[in-house]
Amino acid sequence: MKKTVLSLFVSTVLMAPAALADAPNTDLQLMPYPKEVTLLDGKTEINQDFSVYISGYSSERLDKLTQRIIERVQNQTGLLLKDPIAKNKDQATLVIDVKQAAKSDVQNINTDESYQLVSKNNQIVLSADYPDGAIDGAETFLQLITFDKNATFVPNVKIDDEPRFKHRGLLIDSSRHFVELDTIKRQIDGMASAKLNVLHWHLTDDQGWRIESKAYPLLQETSLGGQFYTQEELKDVVSYARDRGIRVVPEINLPSHASQIVKAYPNLGSGDPSTYEGTIEWGVFPPLLDPTNPEVFEFVDAIVGEMAEIFPDKSLHIGGDEPLYGEWENNTRIQKYMKEHDIKDERGLQAHFNAKVQKILTKHGKDMSGWDEILHPDLPKTITIQSWRGHESLENAAAEGYQGILSTGYYIDQPQPTDYHYRNDPIPTGLTVDDSLHAGETFETYTWRKPRGKGSDRTGTLTIITDKNGDARAFTDYAGKPRAEVFVTEYEAGKRFVGHFDNFMSYTNFVLDIEDGEIQPDTSYQVVGNVRWPTSGEKTAGSDIKNSAIPEHTRPSALPKELESKILGGEMTLWAENVSDETLAVRLYPRAYAIAERFWSPKDLTDEDSMFERMQSVSAWATVSVGLEHETSPYTMRVRLAGTTDVSPLNTLATYIEPAQYYARNWIKFNNGVYHQFERLNRYVDTLVVESYRVRDMEKLAASPTAENLKALQSDFSTVIGNHDAVVAMMKRNHSMSDSVAAAKAAYEMAKLGNALVDMKLENTTLSSKDIAKYQKQIADAAQPKDEIIVALVRPVEILLNSFK
Contact 278, 224 (CB under 8 A): yes
In whole angstroms, give the CA distance from residue 300 to residue 294: 10
CA 773 to chain centre: 37
Residue type, 776: Q
Q: Within 45-161, where are the H helices?
A: 60-77, 131-144
Instruction: Enumerate the β-bridge partners of residue 157.
Output: 39, 119
How do 204-205 and 208-209 pair as beta strands?
A: antiparallel
In whole angstroms, give the CA distance from residue 673 to residue 652: 31
> Can 322 be counted among the known catalytic residues?
yes
Of residues 714, 682, 678, 680, the one with CA closest to residue 800:
714
* Ramachandran bin of 642, using left for φ above 0, alpha for ψ from -120 to 50, beta for the remaining angles: alpha
- Which of 162, 180, 233, 322 is catalytic? The answer is 322
- The phi and psi torsions of 795 (rounded to 5 degrees) equal -70, -55
Render 292-315 in DSSP notation, one character per residue. T-HHHHHHHHHHHHHHHHH--SSE
Contact 677, 176 (CB under 8 A): yes
In whole angstroms, give the CA distance from residue 195 to residue 248: 14
Long-range pairs, 703-706, Cβ under 8 A, ≥24: 703/799, 705/761, 705/800, 705/803
CA distances from residue 40 to 112, 452, 496 in whole angstroms, order as listed: 27, 54, 52
Contact 44, 123 (CB under 8 A): yes
- The phi and psi torsions of 94 (rounded to 5 degrees) equal -120, 120
Give the CB-side neighbour count of residue 394, counting CA atoms within 13 A.
30
The DSSP code for 552 is P
Q: Of all helices (H) and strands (E), which one includes residue 368?
A: strand 367-371
339-374 per-residue burial string, b: 16 or more CB within 10 A, e: under 16: eeeebeebeebbbbbbeebbebbeeeebbbbbbbbb
Of residues 540, 531, 533, 482, the one with CA closest to residue 512:
533
Q: Of all helices (H) and strands (E), which one includes residue 241?
A: helix 231-243
Contact 202, 605 (CB under 8 A): no
CA distances from residue 455 to 54, 120, 398 in whole angstroms, order as listed: 59, 61, 32
Of residues 98, 118, 7, 107, the one with CA closest to residue 54:
98
In whole angstroms, give the CA distance from residue 730 to residue 728: 5
In whole angstroms, give the CA distance from residue 637 to residue 683: 9
In whole angstroms, give the CA distance from residue 563 to residue 396: 11
CA distances from residue 711 to 325, 722, 759, 792 in whole angstroms, order as listed: 61, 16, 9, 19
- The phi and psi torsions of 537 (rounded to 5 degrees) equal 155, -170
In whole angstroms, give the CA distance from residue 273 to residue 276: 5
> Which sign, positive or negative, has the C-alpha torsion 193, 198, 202, 203?
positive
- Verify cis geometry, omega within 30 degrees of 0, for the bond prior to 482: no
Residues with active-site annotation: 322
